Structure 1
């Protein structure tokens, strides 16, 4: 009888204990479920507001390119020792791009993601080998048709490159002729934009990402940067660059008054070539442009550029402004500066802030060996640079600080910029690169290099060759996977700890009741 009473008492205590813990478990379940729903709703909202766009630049299509051509002749002529032996239909580092490479590029972009909001074409469709006017028109016409054929319904924002402009022609009608004879209407058909394009190859375009009429609009401001380059001064009337600068000031003022968010698109970036020590723009024009940016930088999301054939970025900063300038690697592999590459950005459709980008590339050496064009993810900005927040001018400035002070970040930046070159980056060249990240004035740049060289900061030489590119891709993916695995493992560990704690408490309480440990 006593045993039955003890058993009933233990059972009753266990029932009360179980109810108490079940109530706690029920409350915790409600809390976690609520948090999960909120998190899921937030993620779905973010996904709904997340848009994507492609950036292509510097195709440099050579109409005389031959797949069996000798690289010593820019792949234009066949050497007697190579007849039928080596086929390079997807390009070579000593040559401009083939039509086959362009087709491969656009096909890959469509296959990777065709559900995008718009495409930015940063210019330079034609070869570096000074093609004539007819060739420039033919290549750009074919490019317009090919791009529109691959993306028939996607808005396209084209930018003129310095190799797209016919220099020796009637100056008053050259851009109208270019527009009409290259079927540029397939890319740009907004009446207001076309009007200023006819005038000087520049334009502004307002873009709406939703049906909400109260929404802030995204505005593309596209400059014709060739007008500001010293080597082209003789091919433009003196009033042309001045008129473009005045238009730029007026357009940014209008964007400011309308609260538009601006993506500034230029083929040639601001600043200098830090290794060859020359400025891209005539100084008097650059100063005027940057002074305008000083006034309206709060409206500018980012400045995107091409031309340099390298994967890099810079930040222009002054007492009144901070503006990131992101360069893009080219489609053409010429010069060992980059593999053929394209970039897909993600952005917030409400704020238009850039969030991240993914870069895809084609390994030219592998394509030559296998005769197959296998495009692959090179890296993702957020994981490669360990950046978890949005891609803004301010975040780029913080990243530049890390690049200058942390060897891991500086090595990663230098690898992305130089990964296909066959060279050794020595201390002086590394310092030049680091100083040019924020300095646009030669005097400040030279002073920076002298200061860093005098300091006892150790910049290890970096050996760059074509094999670095393979390690570069693999390491980035490995790091990203490790981060994911660590998060999963940590979450699983926390879950096991919580379950173990509950089991232990139940076991302890039940054991105490059995032996009457109270």
Structure 2
């Protein structure tokens, strides 16, 4: 499929015909002639011609038309000279100031898996997307600064993939109160391998605390923390987990550093490996002190740091993933870990191609690496590891206690995944939902309870259609079969509630069906304190009876003379909210609906929620004096993107 002849001629000759953009994509039969015309121009001439056409879209009265035009120009180019898409679009983007330079390279750059240099596979996407249809409008809304209005979500369903729901599966089984198991949940470790003690922690170039972080404003004098902060030691943990304080470092010798990075981390940085190991050591120490072991662990993803793309390579991604997984294995020993991949656990960032297209082989390195490591560590058996290789690292495993854990790769619904904009109106573009449904149907048939794990919450950072499809699936198999849903990604301690019908007019206690737990992060990036949690789980129904979160006040490590972080029990979910709830009942969606109601009605309860969401960070917002808490009720009671958007629009 190609653009109409006038537009193609304008691309080749440099004559501006942006106003001639057709309302539909026409077919051009003479492709050989087009290629021949490209052949008579030099690469520099073609790139210059494309840039002139792209520049013509800037400042037009209709930003949506401008964005769709750029996609159409790119599609015409990719059909004949895909190798020139990256240089043309990247240079235009940087020179025009459309995005900052790093974002331009990441969005429009070369095929980075092959070249191991910053950029995404934009040309791949252009070759198959419909630039003037739903694909293009969705892309222009989410990926091009909202230049198009958000298009209406297609009216799709996957209900043909499951049998009717029987009466016995309309209600959740009641806990037998025959004891509990304990399950560890860790998320968002984001190891910063080049974390540098004394590096700039108050930087103005994205991720801080590394050799290339800096503040664009020159420091006149000495750091304001000189004589106050004293935790600058090259500390580490031995293989036997014992702590070595290491040598003291004087970061104040560098007069260019405003805020020197301390031993254990900072709020604008991802964690050094020592902080990750400190958290995992605390997990093991707490279990030993209380004379129990964890039956298994769920890890909801994100191992790679938040640095800008020019400082992250394929090799760096692999090293980060291997480091985090080996730390988990070394600290947790024989405890099974059931991981998922996060949006940072890919290269290029957030990218994953559907299997039915020819680009999926660019990402098999990650599928193979993860499956091999998970199998090597004994977390997955041979058949499960092979399943992970076939489902974008998604798999289903029956735990030793009888619960099934289904793990999904949420990059399939990530709005920053450019490949998700190919045939975006397909309700199951990646085939992942059929995999999920097949597993749920099999479990329902034998009354087996299931947990679902993924990284990105369905109501946050997802695309609307897959968000809607996931909600439809969860509604069909709740509350009988799906006993728990677990996410990470936001770094906050949160939850999301699903109501029958998935609409904003259904948020009542009569319609509540299920909910998702969103785990706090180990990384402090985003001005929050590091945390981990565990669940007390009914041993017969696998419903969660209670949840305990542990955290450390990172700011206290700045003045601790290099001592290890002090981890403490932050709260028990059953105890902190004023909800009258039977001790024998699980913390199900009804419980969290009652909490959400209080959050919506009371500023005081909203503050309690924010305190725990951010783990009492020095930057926890005041709900009484700022508007930062105003959207809390919407985020807690929206299971889909459309619900959340509608709820937030009603507040404005």
CA contact (8 A) 2:464 2:642 kept: no
Question: Aligned residue for 2:190?
Answer: 60
Describe the shift of the 1:395–1:102 C-alpha distance in structure 2 as closer, same or farther (beyond 3 A): same
Give unmatched runs, 5+ long, in structure 1. 1-44, 210-216, 273-279, 454-518
* CA deviation after TM superposition for structure 1 residue 155, in Å: 1.3
CA contact (8 A) 1:294 1:321 kept: no
* Distance (Å, rounded) in 1 between the aligned partners of 2:272 and 2:573: 29
Query: 1:105 aligned to 2:293?
Result: no
Query: 1:314 aligned to 2:513?
Result: no
Question: Aligned residue for 1:305?
Answer: 487
Question: Aligned residue for 1:359?
Answer: 549
Describe the shift of the 1:308–1:442 C-alpha distance in structure 2 as closer, same or farther (beyond 3 A): closer
Question: Aligned residue for 2:313?
Answer: 132
Question: Aligned residue for 1:92?
Answer: 266
Q: 2:387 aligns with which of 196, 219, 223?
A: 196
Instruction: Trace 1:99-498 onto structure 2 (pairs within 5 A).
Output: 99-114=273-288, 115-129=293-307, 130=309, 131-167=312-348, 170-171=361-362, 173-179=364-370, 185-186=376-377, 188-199=379-390, 200-209=392-401, 217-234=402-419, 241-272=429-460, 280-298=461-479, 299-319=481-501, 322-336=513-527, 338-370=528-560, 371-372=562-563, 373-387=565-579, 388=581, 389=583, 390-418=586-614, 419-420=616-617, 421=619, 423-425=621-623, 428-440=627-639, 445=644, 448=647
Give unmatched runs, 5+ long, in structure 2. 1-175, 224-249, 253-259, 352-359, 502-510
CA contact (8 A) 1:310 1:329 kept: yes
SS at match of 1:334: coil
* Distance (Å, rounded) in 1 between the aligned partners of 2:464 and 2:261: 45
Describe the shift of the 1:183–1:236 C-alpha distance in structure 2 as closer, same or farther (beyond 3 A): farther
* Distance (Å, rounded) in 1 between the aligned partners of 2:408 and 2:434: 12
* Distance (Å, rounded) in 2 between the aligned partners of 1:364 and 1:317: 37
* Distance (Å, rounded) in 1 between the aligned partners of 2:421 and 2:381: 25
* CA deviation after TM superposition for structure 1 residue 65, in Å: 0.4
Cα deviations by residue, 1:46-77 (Å, 9 ceiling, x for unpaired):
5x722111111001101110122210341113
Cα deviations by residue, 1:435-488 (Å, 9 ceiling, x for unpaired):
2321346665566457667xxxxxxxxxxxxxxxxxxxxxxxxxxxxxxxxxxx
Cα deviations by residue, 1:95-129 (Å, 9 ceiling, x for unpaired):
11101111111111110115111111111011011
Q: TM-score, normalising length from structure 1? A: 0.70
* Distance (Å, rounded) in 2 between the aligned partners of 1:242 and 1:205: 20
Describe the shift of the 1:307–1:442 C-alpha distance in structure 2 as closer, same or farther (beyond 3 A): closer
CA contact (8 A) 2:337 2:379 kept: yes
* Distance (Å, rounded) in 2 between the aligned partners of 1:174 and 1:93: 32
* Distance (Å, rounded) in 2 between the aligned partners of 1:235 and 1:281: 10
* Distance (Å, rounded) in 2 between the aligned partners of 1:76 and 1:178: 27
Describe the shift of the 1:385–1:422 C-alpha distance in structure 2 as closer, same or farther (beyond 3 A): closer
Describe the shift of the 1:87–1:400 C-alpha distance in structure 2 as closer, same or farther (beyond 3 A): closer
Whichever structure has more helix as a proportion of its residues is 1
Larger radius of gyration: 1
Describe the shift of the 1:367–1:187 C-alpha distance in structure 2 as closer, same or farther (beyond 3 A): farther
* CA deviation after TM superposition for structure 1 residue 397, in Å: 1.6
Describe the shift of the 1:231–1:444 C-alpha distance in structure 2 as closer, same or farther (beyond 3 A): closer
Q: TM-score, normalising length from structure 2? A: 0.56
* Distance (Å, rounded) in 2 between the aligned partners of 1:68 and 1:87: 5
Q: How many residues align?
A: 393
Cα deviations by residue, 1:259-280 (Å, 9 ceiling, x for unpaired):
11111111000113xxxxxxx2
* Distance (Å, rounded) in 2 between the aligned partners of 1:180 and 1:300: 25
* Distance (Å, rounded) in 1 between the aligned partners of 2:645 and 2:429: 29
Instruction: Name segments (4+ residues, structure 1) moved above 4 Å.
Output: 78-83, 180-184, 235-241, 426-429, 440-453
SS at match of 1:291: helix
* Distance (Å, rounded) in 1 between the aligned partners of 2:642 and 2:329: 45
Describe the shift of the 1:126–1:447 C-alpha distance in structure 2 as closer, same or farther (beyond 3 A): closer
Describe the shift of the 1:257–1:175 C-alpha distance in structure 2 as closer, same or farther (beyond 3 A): farther
Question: Aligned residue for 2:47?
Answer: none
CA contact (8 A) 2:551 2:567 kept: yes
Q: Which one is further off, 408-417 or 343-352?
A: 408-417
* Distance (Å, rounded) in 2 between the aligned partners of 1:450 and 1:172: 37
CA contact (8 A) 1:227 1:233 kept: no
SS at match of 1:430: coil
Describe the shift of the 1:97–1:118 C-alpha distance in structure 2 as closer, same or farther (beyond 3 A): same
* Distance (Å, rounded) in 2 between the aligned partners of 1:94 and 1:184: 35
Question: Aligned residue for 2:145?
Answer: none
